[in-house]
Structure 1
Amino acid sequence: MEWLFRLLEPDKRQVIYARASFFALLMQHVLVVGIASLLAVIIGVGAAIAVTRPAGRDFLPLVSQLASIGQTFPPVAVLALAVPVLGFGTLPIIVALLLYGLLPIVRNTLAGIGGIEPEMREAARAMGITPGQILRQVELPLAAPVILAGIRTSVTINIATAALGATVGASNLGDPIISGIVNGNTAYIVQGALLIGLLALTVDSAFERLVRQRQLTPAHG
């Protein structure tokens, strides 16, 4: 597709980003987003479940506020604060994406579990099911579509945000964008932006299908 990008920058000697293969940049981008999202899911869902239990309800406002604070800080500011402590590379952007992705996961997990009818829990207790079994067999299956919607939002946002990692030495699909800005090469910027957009749309579509399947599948327990 060099001829197409040549239309954007007819005077540039090189219009295809060649410092690293797009496949390698894509894999590194997916890896960073995957690690940050996995940590956000573990922490976010775990914290939300903990504060919906009787012993942890007093901490509900604190968890909600901490999750909100994580997204009020711009990722660029988090990177600026993290680099002096963690150094350049992948780790600072993972921390930034983790903090930025917690809020939708925490909110949707709380909404999903909180939206379950109390009668469902009472019926489960009347059958002699333990609290742990109620969580695994009743609450989580019923709340799964809402929780997955929050994870979907978090991951999709972080796919775009991860490009900022290129500013602190984390090699990913943000590399062509930053290189294009520095060198005044619009073709590089478009290539990076197109790949990030296609990745975000692909992942979003996969989550949409998964959420739809969960909504159509009855919970058993």
Structure 2
Amino acid sequence: MVGRLFLLAAAALLCALLAVPERFAPLFVPLTHNNAPPIYLQTSLLQLTLSHLGLVALAVAASTLVAVAGGVLVTRPAGREFLPLARTIASVGQTFPPVAVLALAVPAMGFGAGPTLVALFLYGLLPVFENTLTALSTLPPSVIEAARGMGLTRRQRLWQVELPLAAPVILAGVRLTAVISLATATIGSTVAAKTLGEVIIAGLLSANPAFVVQGGLIVGLLAILIYEAFQKLELWSARRAGQIRPR
């Protein structure tokens, strides 16, 4: 009950901050100096948030599609020899700094959303890939044998048995990727992508902590809500797969 009230309060605060940010000016005034503006108004906070979420959603969707496909491939008999290569590629994407990816992508793609999408895509591969690999590799052999005994083809076993059972663990990886990407996307504003990093950078450049807090607060509230939404989705998926009994 307390958790639900907290989430409702977080959602209400986020909606109010995006819809009528000027109402929060008195709260941010103590963070300003020399009569600096307490609320970032150069661009609509709502528009920046929607643009930020759009970039993150597109990058996470692409990372999930590629990582799940890669996880499925290396858990099939014909693709097991590619496991070391696939894991290396996913690991490099996670360990290579997003800032470095931006620096390399800008000369080829120009400024804007493109380099940010590339950085987020690469950064989001590893959690989904590893969770997909773990989920598909640890399925109960008895279940697979039962599906085989029912006469299901390999494709049918994958879509009707393996992926539904693996979905909760895969979604946990997607949840981690989404939260990481949500925070990492703020650096996209350094290459002219429309993200909430614009507010934070404006605060740093003008020595105005109020802007920094606003950008960080919105990203933090979004992260909490997205994290909880994915947890609910994971729970629903586990119940649908019969791994958790409905209450």
The normalised TM-score by structure 1 is 0.97
Question: Paired residue for 1:113?
Answer: 136
Residues 119-128 or 141-150, more deviating? 119-128
1:213 and 1:130 mapped to 2: Cα distance?
27
- Opposite residue 107 of structure 2, the aligned amino acid is P
- Opposite residue 86 of structure 1, the aligned amino acid is M
Residue 24 in structure 1 maps to residue 47 in structure 2? yes
- Opposite residue 43 of structure 1, the aligned amino acid is V
2:197 and 2:62 mapped to 1: Cα distance?
22
Question: Paired residue for 2:8?
Answer: none
Question: Paired residue for 2:87?
Answer: 64
1:45 and 1:12 mapped to 2: Cα distance?
51
Whether the 8 Å contact between 1:16 and 1:188 is mirrored in structure 2 is: yes
Task: Show the 5 A alignment for 1:119-138.
Answer: 119-138=142-161
1:69 and 1:211 mapped to 2: Cα distance?
27
Distance apart, 1:146 and its partner CA: 0.3
Q: Superposition RMSD on alpha carbons, in Å?
A: 1.2
> Deviation string for 1:16-64 (max 9, x for gaps)?
1011001000100010001100100110001110111111110011101
Match among 86, 91, 97 for residue 114 of structure 2 = 91
Distance apart, 1:219 and its partner CA: 4.7
Secondary structure at the counterpart of residue 79 of structure 1: helix
- Opposite residue 6 of structure 1, the aligned amino acid is V
The normalised TM-score by structure 2 is 0.87
Whether the 8 Å contact between 2:36 and 2:208 is mirrored in structure 1 is: no
> Deviation string for 1:111-161 (max 9, x for gaps)?
000110122111111111000000011100110110000000000100000
Whether the 8 Å contact between 1:101 and 1:154 is mirrored in structure 2 is: yes
Question: Paired residue for 2:103?
Answer: 80
- Opposite residue 195 of structure 1, the aligned amino acid is I
Structure 1: runs of 5 or more not aligned: none
Distance apart, 1:12 and its partner CA: 2.8
- Opposite residue 53 of structure 1, the aligned amino acid is R
Residues 210-219 or 142-151, more deviating? 210-219
Percent identity reads: 48
Match among 2, 5, 13 for residue 36 of structure 2 = 13
Distance apart, 1:216 and its partner CA: 2.3
Whether the 8 Å contact between 2:33 and 2:208 is mirrored in structure 1 is: no
1:13 and 1:142 mapped to 2: Cα distance?
54
Whether the 8 Å contact between 1:51 and 1:57 is mirrored in structure 2 is: yes
Whether the 8 Å contact between 1:141 and 1:219 is mirrored in structure 2 is: no
Whether the 8 Å contact between 1:145 and 1:214 is mirrored in structure 2 is: yes
Distance apart, 1:189 and its partner CA: 0.4
- Opposite residue 198 of structure 1, the aligned amino acid is L
Distance apart, 1:10 and its partner CA: 4.3
1:174 and 1:56 mapped to 2: Cα distance?
40
Residues 115-124 or 174-183, more deviating? 115-124
1:13 and 1:135 mapped to 2: Cα distance?
59
Match among 23, 34, 38 for residue 57 of structure 2 = 34
